[in-house]
Amino acid sequence: MELFVAIDFHARVLNELNQIKNYLTKHDNMGIFEPTENYHLTLLYLNQLDDHQSVIEKLENIKHSRFHLQLNQLGSFENADGNVLWINVKNELEALDELQQKIKQELASLYVPSDHSSFYPHITLSYGHKIGKATEEVFLACKINEVVIRILNFHLYEVLNTGKGKRFKKMATFMLEPNPKGG
């Protein structure tokens, strides 16, 4: 089964992401936009693994404090499916990076890292765009409210191939510890 570890979002963040998606579809409807239920921030892509129970057991060992992120700005990168439109995050990036490193280290014996295993935190909005000057202008004109994202947990997901494209099934949830400062 195809697995990954990620953070999901509460309703206010999903609402903001949908407003951004609606703006982009009005001005650049060339790509394939993700459905709301697919929005996530990948911490580690595991690819194909048969033993998801071992992954769950190892992820249960992770101890990390809760933290906050904020939506930041639109961007794009190229992959095999064409250009990917995304929104990145800001705020407690060091805490996010530490969590990602703990997950990566804990699972190191279970998976083979991909060639592009560097961590660049983002939320994918769509695939298959042709990026040009017009798209860049749309990006600049798109207003992004810096909605706070409280990171209270992370999840193990399975990728399901459906008639409507890929969907992600939550297999397990791992709680983060309350921040001693009240987070």
Which are the catalytic amino acids?
40, 122
Other Cβ atoms within 10 Å of 20 Cβ, number:
20
Which amino acid, one-letter code, is at 76? Answer: S
d(CA 12, CA 123) in angstroms, rounded, equals: 15
Cα 65 to chain centroid, rounded: 19
Question: Rg of the chain's alpha carbons, rounded to an integer?
Answer: 17
Contacts 24+ apart (CB under 8 A), 111-120: 111/46, 111/47, 111/49, 112/47, 114/45, 114/47, 119/43, 120/88
